[in-house]
Structure 1
Amino acid sequence: MNTLPFAATTPISVSRVGLKARDADTLAAYYRTVVGLDELSRDGTVITLGAANRPLLDIEADAAAKPDDPRSAGLFHTAFLLPERADLGRWIKHAIDRRIPVDGASDHLVSEALYLTDPEGNGIEIYTDRPHEDWKWNGPHVEMATIGLNIPDIVASAGDTEWNGAPENSIIGHVHLRVGDPKEAEAWWGREFGFDTVAEYGAQAVFLSSGGYHHHIGANSWQSSNAGKRDAGRTGLNWVEMRSASAKASEIREDPWGTVIRTVPDVA
Structure 2
Amino acid sequence: MTRTAAVPDAARIGRTALRVADLGATTAFYRDVVGLTVQSKGEATATLGAGGTPLLVLEGDEEAPLRSRDGTGLFHNAFRLPSRGALGGALDRIRDRWTLDGASDHLVSEALYLADPEGNGVEVYWDKPREEWPRADDGTVRMDTLPLDPEAVAAGSDGAPEAPPGTTVGHVHLEVSSIDATRAFYVDTLGFDVQFESGSVLFLAAGDYHHHIGANTWNGRSQPADGRGLAWFEIVLPDEAALSSLRRGLADADVAVTELDDGVEVADPDGIRVRLRAE
Q: Distance in 2 between matches of 1:152 and 1:113?
A: 13
Question: Which residue does the alignment assign to 1:125?
Answer: 123
SS at match of 1:86: helix
Deviations 1:54-75 (A, max 9, x none): 1001001111111123531100
What amino acid is the match of 1:173? Answer: G
- Partner residue of 1:259 out of 259, 269, 272: 272
Matched, 1:203 2:202: no
What amino acid is the match of 1:130? Answer: K
Question: Which residue does the alignment assign to 1:142?
Answer: 141
Q: Distance in 2 between matches of 1:132 and 1:258?
A: 34
- Partner residue of 2:109 out of 108, 111, 114: 111
CA contact (8 A) 1:177 1:217 kept: yes
What amino acid is the match of 1:230? Answer: A
Question: Which residue does the alignment assign to 1:239?
Answer: 232
SS at match of 2:122: strand
CA contact (8 A) 2:17 2:233 kept: yes
Deviations 1:1-30 (A, max 9, x none): xxxxxxxx9421100100001111111111
User: Relative to 1, partners in 2 of residues 1:87 and 1:70: Cα closer, same or farther, differing over 3 Å?
Assistant: farther
Deviation at 1:140, TM superposition (A): 4.4
Matched, 1:228 2:223: yes
TM norm structure 2: 0.86
What amino acid is the match of 1:131? Answer: P
What amino acid is the match of 2:212? Answer: H
CA contact (8 A) 2:70 2:223 kept: no
CA contact (8 A) 1:13 1:242 kept: yes
Q: Distance in 1 between matches of 2:224 and 2:70?
A: 12
- Partner residue of 2:168 out of 168, 171, 193: 171
Deviation at 1:211, TM superposition (A): 0.9
What amino acid is the match of 1:171? Answer: T
What amino acid is the match of 2:231? Answer: N
Q: CA RMSD in A?
A: 1.6
Count, aligned residues: 251
Question: Which residue does the alignment assign to 2:259?
Answer: none
Q: Distance in 2 between matches of 1:86 and 1:179?
A: 34
SS at match of 2:146: coil
SS at match of 1:102: coil
CA contact (8 A) 2:93 2:161 kept: no
Deviation at 1:221, TM superposition (A): 0.6
Matched, 1:185 2:182: yes
User: Relative to 1, partners in 2 of residues 1:51 and 1:70: Cα closer, same or farther, differing over 3 Å?
Assistant: farther
Q: Runs (4+) of structure 1 moved beyond 3 Å?
A: none
Question: Which residue does the alignment assign to 1:5?
Answer: none
Deviations 1:207-242 (A, max 9, x none): 0000110000000011134x13223xx110000011
Unaligned runs of 5+ in 2: 1-7, 245-261
Deviation at 1:44, TM superposition (A): 5.2
TM norm structure 1: 0.89
Q: Distance in 2 between matches of 1:90 and 1:38?
A: 15
What amino acid is the match of 2:129? Answer: P
Unaligned runs of 5+ in 1: 1-8
